[in-house]
Amino acid sequence: MKMINQFKHKKILVLGLAKSGVSAALLLHKLGAFVTVNDYKPFSENPDAQGLLEKGIKVICGEHPLALLDEGFELMVKNPGIPYTNPLVSRAREQGLPIITEVELAYLVSEANIIGITGTNGKTTTTTLIYEMLAADGQKPLVAGNIGTPASFVAETAKKEETIVMELSSFQLMGISAFRPNIAVITNIYDAHLDYHGTREAYAETKLNITGNQHEQDYFIVNGDQKMIMKAAEKTTAQVIPFSASRYIENGCSVKNGVIMFRGEKVIEQQDIVLPGSHNLENILAAIAAAKLSQVSNTAICQVLTSFQGVKHRTQFVCEIAGRLFYNDSKATNILATKKALQAFHAPTILLAGGLDRGNEFTELVPVLSHVKALITFGETAEKIEQAGRDAGIEMIQRVDNVAKAVPAAYELSDEGDVILLSPACASWDQYRTFEERGDIFIDAVHKLL
């Protein structure tokens, strides 16, 4: 870790805990900052805050008092999940207080190179593929960021010869200033998180922050099938490497006559890849580009792609029971992700969907429901999704209380050869804390059928 001095003896407010807040507070404390942590959860119910207090870090819990800003802080490190409309954050912005997220801290202290991955869909699969390819090549990758382990925690111990493969959300990228990945990847940009960002343009601009500080020797891997991204890429200083699942690109990563090519070099036959779904082809192309730019051998890339079957909660194959194939795609927290999951299958499918109501209609699903023989709904959006099912001509539609009850209901309606797919098209927060919790409940319910 680089023992930087820019935070030494500075008063810094860490707003919001969870894993990233704890990591940021501990790192800043180690760097000599005077840290105050403010978390909404009451102290008596907050083991993270209790642990920080034991280490000599000031903690204020139970509310976000505006009076905190009278204490002369020089920086705020904000949990990505706290919106900028939060009164304390809004007041801080009005006062001109710099606000960052902990990925900025990670960059500032990291001795390792960073590969940063963002996008609306496919981030986690692409991040995992890059990590696996580097590892198969004998390199020393570390995985961090939105995928699970806080970036600042990983960066603290990362060595020069290692590479941090970092998944980055738009929320995290809103809070960067100097952050500069050696390789930046944008998988795609679609409408998402508009309740947080306000407009698609603002959301896209935040995603593009990933390349804002890159230099001429850096690389920016972009989706060559999205005109908006390609247009925006014209402004970067980095070397642009496009990928495309629909056309051949000589100076990028794409498919030619059934062979995946990188800058004119054959990498792998497409038919040898085991990860299902046309949407995953884009993730694979992006990952291959990052791996090749990191000097990973074709042998290592092929080793991964001929064995990797997916990330947990991302079109994850769970098991086969009496000829029925169960897939967990709980990460499908928006309509586009569910569309792509459905397009990955051609067998008769029973779809389990529903969740938090963000005001979306689900008419976009209708064209991809042609092979869906039954629909099981739950959560706040149940009625809206059922209407889409009726519009698609689905006759078997059933509403249940939750995912645990959806699994046996789907099994009762299924036949040998069917796919039973959890792909909710919605966030989980109406019933579950995270999409991971929702997916784990699905997996557990499937296993109870055995």
Q: Which residues pair with 324 in a beta bridge?
A: 321
The answer to whether the annotation marks 338 as part of a ligand binding site is no
Which residues contact residue 343 at a Cβ distance below 8 angstroms, ignoring those fewer than 6 apart? 277, 278, 279, 368
Distance CA 220, CA 236 (A): 8
φ/ψ of 14, rounded to 5, equals -100, 115
Residue 386's identity, in one-letter code, is: E
Query: How many Cα atoms sit within 13 Å of 340 on the Cβ side?
Result: 23
What three-state secondary structure class fits 165?
Answer: strand
Burial class (CB in 10 A: 0-12, 13-18, 19+), 274: exposed
299 labelled binding-site residue:
no
Q: What is the residue whose two structure tokens read 């059934």?
A: 258
**Is 120 within any annotated ligand binding site?**
yes
Please calculate the CA angle 358-361-365 and round it to the nearest 5 degrees: 120
Q: Is 123 annotated as a binding residue?
A: yes
User: Was 124 annotated as part of a binding site?
Assistant: yes
Q: Is 121 annotated as a binding residue?
A: yes
Write the secondary structure of 73-138 as one string of H (helix), E (strand) and C (coil): CCEEEECCCCCCCCHHHHHHHHCCCCEECHHHHHHHHCCCEEEEEECCCCHHHHHHHHHHHHHHCC
252 assigned binding-site residue = no
Residues in the annotated binding site for ATP: 119-125
Residues in the annotated binding site: 119-125
